[in-house]
Amino acid sequence: MSARILDGEAFASQIHRETASRVTALAQRGITPRLVFIRVGEDPASRAYVSRKETRAKEVGISSHTMVLPESTPLATLLREIDTLNADPKVHGILIQSPLPAGLPNDQVYARVSPAKDVDGFHPVNFGKLLLGDPTGFLPCTPAGILEILRLGKIPTKGKHAVVVGRGQIVGRPLAVLLARKSAHADCTVTLAHSSTPNLPSITRQADILIGALGRPHFLTPDHVQPGATVIDVGVNRIADASNPRGYRLVGDVDFASVQTIAGAITPNPGGVGPMTIALLLSNTLRAAETTLS
């Protein structure tokens, strides 16, 4: 058996088309959604990620700009820049590109972004709305993108056992909450596990839907997977590769080649969750712009 591929690129294209259509309608009312990225330092991966997001934004008609600050930027300076963007009515979305340099506290920086412009969904107000099931908040893009993969991939979720491996604030914890919510494309029984969970394979093998989001290369193997399960791979990990000009290659948390033979459906990596994260970011930005009309 070979698993059905859940093609994140194809799913993201569907969402981009919907976003582009709504952007066009909004433009007819005199508003162009604008998204500003703040990148601190010259991390190569961050440069590549922001470039990819800018390209997709342009394709759907969203205006974007990247503010690049030196790695030595003091916290007070960064917060002032965020305050300026918060006060600019022409800016609808603000994204702080991670990772931030050492010495810049993530929580304090993310919390400085106005909740109304927090299109990444990291502000405490938006996280609280997620927990309360308040639809006026912005959902974090990767968990929301995973729900869209399940919806567009026609994966049954109601009453299914979902196991999320990884308890991080960006993916694992919010995803567990979203999967458990009583809604059309969730309503799961959820187990939130992690790398220190005793007898982890005995738990993950119970999963109808298994999500790897712990940041360890090829951590989830066939021993962790129930035959026929849906497997979602969130991880982005560097491993050494002398054959690659960069000296490394990117792999997921799932050992794709071996797990593909026993899973029922699986996301590729790359080409799975990543494109959906960008699609939901741009969708959130559009919604932020639309709310200025109300």
Residues 108 and 188 in one domain: no
- SS3 breakdown of the chain: % helix, strand, coil, rounded to 5? 40, 15, 40
Q: Is residue 72 part of a domain?
A: yes
CATH number of 164's domain: 3.40.50.720
Residues 183 and 212 in one domain: yes
Residues 260 and 197 in one domain: yes
Q: Which domain holds residue 158?
A: 141-274
Q: Of the residues 117, 118, 120, 253, which is catalytic?
A: 120
Other CB atoms within a 10 A radius of the CB of residue 182 amount to: 8
- Cis before 135 (ω within 30): no
Residues 179 and 266 in one domain: yes
Report the alpha-carbon distance of residue 157 to residue 180 in Å, rounded. Answer: 10
Identity of residue 226: Q
Of 132, 100, 129, 98, the closest CA to residue 116 belongs to 129
Residues 76 and 119 in one domain: yes
Concerning whether 97 is annotated as a catalytic residue, the answer is: yes
Residues 119 and 145 in one domain: no
Identity of residue 55: T
The per-residue pLDDT string of the chain (294 residues; one tens digit each, 9 = 90 and over) reads 689 999 999 999 999 999 999 999 999 999 999 999 999 998 888 888 899 999 999 999 999 999 999 999 999 999 999 999 999 999 999 999 998 998 899 999 999 999 999 999 999 999 999 999 999 999 999 999 999 999 999 999 999 999 999 999 999 999 999 999 999 899 999 999 998 999 999 999 999 999 999 999 999 999 999 999 999 999 988 888 888 888 888 889 999 999 999 999 999 999 999 999 999 999 999 999 999 987
pLDDT at 195: 84
Give the relative orientation of helices 273-290 and 141-152 as an angle to the nearest 10 degrees.
110
Quote the pTM value. 0.95
CATH number of 58's domain: 3.40.50.10860
Q: Of the residues 53, 117, 129, 160, which is catalytic?
A: 53
- Cis before 270 (ω within 30): yes
Residues 148 and 266 in one domain: yes
Contact 175, 164 (CB under 8 A): yes
Q: What's the domain count of the chain? A: 2
pLDDT at 1: 66
Residues 116 and 169 in one domain: no
Residues 91 and 209 in one domain: no
Residues 107 and 179 in one domain: no
Contact 271, 283 (CB under 8 A): no
Report the alpha-carbon distance of residue 29 to residue 32 in Å, rounded. Answer: 9
Tokens of 42: 């010259």
Strand spans (E) along the chain? 4-5, 34-40, 63-69, 93-96, 161-165, 189-193, 209-212, 230-233, 237-240, 248-251, 265-266
Q: Of the residues 97, 226, 253, 260, which is catalytic?
A: 97
Tokens of 242: 């002398």
Question: What is the number of helices (H) and of strands (E) in the chain?
Answer: 10, 11
Q: Spell out the residues 6+ positions from residue 87 whose beta carbon is closer than 8 angstroms to its own.
A: none
Q: Is residue 225 part of a domain?
A: yes
Identity of residue 29: R
Concerning whether 117 is annotated as a catalytic residue, the answer is: no
Residues 167 and 66 in one domain: no
Concerning whether 53 is annotated as a catalytic residue, the answer is: yes
Q: Is residue 246 part of a domain?
A: yes
Tokens of 243: 């054959």
SS (H, E, C) 56-125: HHHHHCCEEEEEEECCCCCHHHHHHHHHHHHHCCCCCEEEECCCCCCCCCHHHHHHHCCHHHCCCCCCHH
Query: Of the candidates 89, 123, 157, which is a domain's last residue?
Result: 123
